[in-house]
Amino acid sequence: MSDLANDFRHHFMPFTANQDFAEAPRLVSEGKGIRLKKANGGEVIDAVSGLFCTPAGLGRTEIADAVSEQLRTLSYVTSFQHGHGKSFELASRIAALTSGDLDHLFFTNSGSEAVETALKIALAYQTAKGEPGRTRLIGRERAYHGVNFGGLSVGGMVRNKHGFSLSLPGVVHMRHTWLEENRFSRGQPETGAELADDLLRFCDTYGANAIAACIVEPVAGSIGCLPPPIGYLERLREICTQNGILLIFDEVICGFGRLGTKFGADRFGVVPDMITMAKALTNGAVPMGAVAVNIDIYDTLMEAAPDGAIELFHGYTYTAHPVACAASLASLDIYAADNLFGRAAELEKPFLDILFDMQDLPVVKDIRGIGLLGAVDMAPDGAVGKRGYKALKAFFDEGVLVKMTGDSVILAPPFVATEDEIAEMLQKVRAVIESF
């Protein structure tokens, strides 16, 4: 490898303390299954599926073969007014997985772009339906919907907004669903469904006919796994339906089996009007996102356009990139052949059993978990995130990969891990938390 691989000046890293990283870089050089090799020796076990991306594990040859074959046969074609068969095949395959009539897929290159696309489709739909005054978008405190301006506006992770004061006009946020009384709840907390009535209050305050859409993560992921209180999503669905507001589930983390069902919508039995997805869509192998929209939205947009006209003035150069489609089709084949969503459901109990055993550690202030997604909150030590950052370094040093948000340790094991491997990763997590 070139010497430049150790020159840390030029790659401006995302969500990273760049200068500190250069002092003691955390580099990996290889990955197979649930294990990575550190560039300077040693092994890391992956307790967070990369970044919620790789349920089927790293280095899957089926995906590598599909990508390689695609690069040789058709490495690119624009999706603007042209196309290739794999995107249509993939859209049909995903439509068969989504609940209700979410049967039409718009492809993007990331979760952030999927969110922007869903918000724009919501506004376009309301206009096409003859309600152009519906321009308000409703988000939620502590939500993460990516880093572009739409997602940042409806998102509610405060630190991500600092320094970027520009925001979409007309966005308001419902309260988050973390409640003191629900600390150490396993699965969905008992209380808090009434927090969904915040949406009703916005209908009263601004007029329902001013609101286009409400977006939530079924389980808030990046903030540290906040499962919805029992009855909360049902109530949101009811209020949206009664008031002509579109309900968008951002399933960038929950989608493709993370909660032991195809999507979070299935786990909670609530059908939204749109679902955003990314990450596990290609098992993390090639960047790709998508938005599933229901038949009403699709038909309304199609019917509103004059004959031969473009129905939605939106798209990306790499929308439905052939290589991403090939990677996604191969990933869906693996999920089906290995029954990986069923496997995630089977692993939920052993995973949560060990996770919740960490309650006895003095530094632990809360634990939450559902499906193969969980979080352990450590008490802050001074400024929020100071202890968390030290922990992040310690986790890597001790050979386990997790996601830290502030002082919360977030875990999302790959579905191909065995029960013993889940025990192994959580043992390492426990040992590090215990040392604080």
Query: What's the per-residue H, E or C state across 155-212?
Result: CCCHHHHCCCCCCCCCEEEECCCCCHHHCCCECCCCCCHHHHHHHHHHHHHHCHHHEE
- Identify the burial level of 4 via C-beta atoms within 10 angstroms of its C-beta, where 0-12 means exposed, 13-18 middle and 19 or more buried: exposed
In angstroms, the CA 273 to CA 4 distance is: 48
Q: Locate tokens 């690069």: which residue?
A: 71
Phi, psi (degrees; rounded to nearest 5) at 418: -85, 170
The nearer residue to ligand PLP, 221 or 224, going by C-beta atoms, is 221
The nearer residue to ligand PLP, 144 or 202, going by C-beta atoms, is 144
**Which of these segments, 73-81, 98-106, 246-254, 323-331, binds ligand PLP (CB under 6 A)?**
246-254
**Identity (one letter) of the amino acid at 354?**
I
Task: Based on the shown chain and the rule CB under 6 A, indicate whether residue 146 belongs to the binding site for ligand PLP.
Answer: yes
Residues between 290 and 349 that touch ligand PLP (CB under 6 A): none
**Which of these segments, 110-118, 169-177, 185-193, 196-204, binds ligand PLP (CB under 6 A)?**
110-118
Task: Based on the shown chain and the rule CB under 6 A, indicate whether residue 110 belongs to the binding site for ligand PLP.
Answer: yes
Task: Based on the shown chain and the rule CB under 6 A, indicate whether residue 221 belongs to the binding site for ligand PLP.
Answer: yes
How many residues touch ligand PLP under the rule CB under 6 A: the total is 14
- In the complex, the smallest distance separating the C-beta of residue 389 from ligand PLP, rounded to whole angstroms, is 19
Task: Based on the shown chain and the rule CB under 6 A, indicate whether residue 60 belongs to the binding site for ligand PLP.
Answer: no
The nearer residue to ligand PLP, 110 or 300, going by C-beta atoms, is 110
- In the complex, the smallest distance separating the C-beta of residue 94 from ligand PLP, rounded to whole angstroms, is 17
- In the complex, the smallest distance separating the C-beta of residue 387 from ligand PLP, rounded to whole angstroms, is 22
The nearer residue to ligand PLP, 142 or 237, going by C-beta atoms, is 142
Question: Which of residues 56, 115, 152, 275 is near ligand PLP by CB under 6 A?
Answer: 115
**C-alpha closest to that of 272 among 297, 298, 252, 246:** 246
- In the complex, the smallest distance separating the C-beta of residue 135 from ligand PLP, rounded to whole angstroms, is 22
In angstroms, the CA 190 to CA 206 distance is: 30
Q: Locate tokens 């520009």: which residue?
A: 166
Collect all residues with Cβ–Cβ distance below 8 Å to 428 and sequence separation of at least 6: 45, 47, 395, 398, 399, 400
The nearer residue to ligand PLP, 150 or 208, going by C-beta atoms, is 150
For residues 209 and 131, the answer to whether their CB atoms sit within 8 Å is: yes
**Which of these segments, 29-37, 130-138, 142-150, 299-307, binds ligand PLP (CB under 6 A)?**
142-150
Residues between 250 and 279 that touch ligand PLP (CB under 6 A): 250, 252-253, 278
Q: Which residue is nearest to ligand PLP (CB)?
A: 111
Q: Locate tokens 């960038």: which residue?
A: 252
Task: Based on the shown chain and the rule CB under 6 A, indicate whether residue 87 belongs to the binding site for ligand PLP.
Answer: no
Task: Based on the shown chain and the rule CB under 6 A, indicate whether residue 405 belongs to the binding site for ligand PLP.
Answer: no
Cα angle, residue 350 at apex, residues 347 and 353 outer, rounded to 5°: 140
The nearer residue to ligand PLP, 167 or 243, going by C-beta atoms, is 167
**Which uninterrupted H or E stretch holds 126?**
helix 111-128
In angstroms, the CA 341 to CA 48 distance is: 16
- In the complex, the smallest distance separating the C-beta of residue 112 from ligand PLP, rounded to whole angstroms, is 3
The DSSP bridge pattern shows strands 408-411 and 373-378 to be: antiparallel
- Identify the burial level of 24 via C-beta atoms within 10 angstroms of its C-beta, where 0-12 means exposed, 13-18 middle and 19 or more buried: exposed
**Which of these segments, 90-98, 189-197, 248-256, 296-304, binds ligand PLP (CB under 6 A)?**
248-256
Q: What are the CA-CA distances from residue 125 to residues 245, 302, 304, 404, 410 (Å)? A: 11, 10, 9, 37, 36
Task: Based on the shown chain and the rule CB under 6 A, indicate whether residue 375 belongs to the binding site for ligand PLP.
Answer: no
In angstroms, the CA 385 to CA 224 distance is: 13
- In the complex, the smallest distance separating the C-beta of residue 276 from ligand PLP, rounded to whole angstroms, is 7
Question: Which of residues 54, 79, 98, 112 is near ligand PLP by CB under 6 A?
Answer: 112
**Which of these segments, 118-126, 140-148, 208-216, 421-429, binds ligand PLP (CB under 6 A)?**
140-148
Residues that bind ligand PLP (CB under 6 A): 110-112, 115, 144-146, 217, 221-222, 250, 252-253, 278
